[in-house]
Amino acid sequence: MVLPQTARLANGGFDYNIALGSVNLSAAAYCDPSVIKAWSCPPCVGTGLALDVKDVFHASETDTNGYIGIDEAGKRIIVAFQGTHDLTQWIDDLDFFKADLQYPGASSDVKVHSGFYKAYRQVKQNVDQVVNQTLFNNPEYTILVTGHSLGAALAAMCSLDLSIGHPQARILHYTYGQPRVGNQAFAQFYESHNLAQHYRMTHNEDPVPHLPLESMGFYHISTEVYYGEKFEGQSSLKVCDGSGEDPNCSNQHWTDLKVSDHLNYLGQTLDTDACHA
């Protein structure tokens, strides 16, 4: 059964500084494992964090990549997922199959993209191992989950999963160029859980937030934060309505979509080029 709108929990206020920091964390996920582990890549350094990287994970079957680190100074666990290396090929290959979400409390109405779900399940154990151990020793730590493109979809799966497994934890979700992850029942199930902040950023005519198509039964989670062609600081950003599908944000664009808008967020390149700046 689809949850009523009143079952949604309030989303904490958008934090511009967290958004700026998270875009670098997402960019770092595109870099080679060796420089992520050493925390020496350009976007790694750009975070200003002395991150203790606990795991750089890779699942070969689905080519799922990312890393988990501890920001001791900020008392945070960072989980970051890598996006796709070949965006055009990914768009061409993107299917529209849905699967039942096998999360505690999810009804049979809650459907998610089968490929995103499979990709996350293949690295879930890596995430759980570090998060569980860290929270056992430091229950006050915040969890920040981030990612770009495909990595943003996996971040949504992960942040929901962690909110169910750790209902007392403070969990933040900041993503960039996120596709639709599931149906409207999934969006409402996601928003009924205790995430302190959940924001997905969209940039002008980025095509990826339009996929998979709403007409195919997919629906965005909230809350979208949109900006137009040029990023000129915080004043450029618009926090959209809580529907997930605000017609005055990314959804205002239907033609002449630009891959270039997908590859740059908040002035940060988001692909392997970021690793060689």
The proportion of the chain whose per-residue pLDDT surpasses 70, expressed as a percent, equals 94
Model confidence pLDDT, tens digit, residues 176-232: 999 999 999 999 999 999 899 999 999 999 999 999 999 999 999 999 999 999 999
Determine whether 15 is exposed, middle or buried from the number of CB atoms within 10 Å of its CB (0-12, 13-18, 19+).
Answer: middle
The model's pTM is: 0.93
Q: What is the mean pLDDT of the chain?
A: 93
For residues 26 and 91, the model is more confident at 26
Which sign does the torsion angle of CA 197, 86, 119, 3 carry? positive
- pLDDT tens across 219-266, in order? 999 999 999 999 999 999 999 998 999 999 999 998 889 999 999 999
Task: Cite the active site residues.
Answer: 149, 206, 262
Euclidean distance between CA atoms 112 and 180, whole angstroms:
9
- Indicate the pLDDT class of residue 87, thresholds 50, 70 and 90: confident
CATH of the domain at 193: 3.40.50.1820
In the chain, the number of structural domains is 1
Closest CA to 175 of 185, 160, 194: 160
Sign of the C-alpha dihedral, residues 146, 27, 184, 204? positive
Output the pLDDT for position 93: 64
Confidence of residue 92 (pLDDT cuts 50, 70, 90): low
- What pLDDT is recorded for position 7? 45
In the chain, count H helices and then E strands: 9, 12
Taking the CB of residue 273, how many other CB atoms lie within 10 A of it? 13
Residue 72 has pLDDT above 70, yes or no: yes
- Domain of residue 95: give its range: 5-276
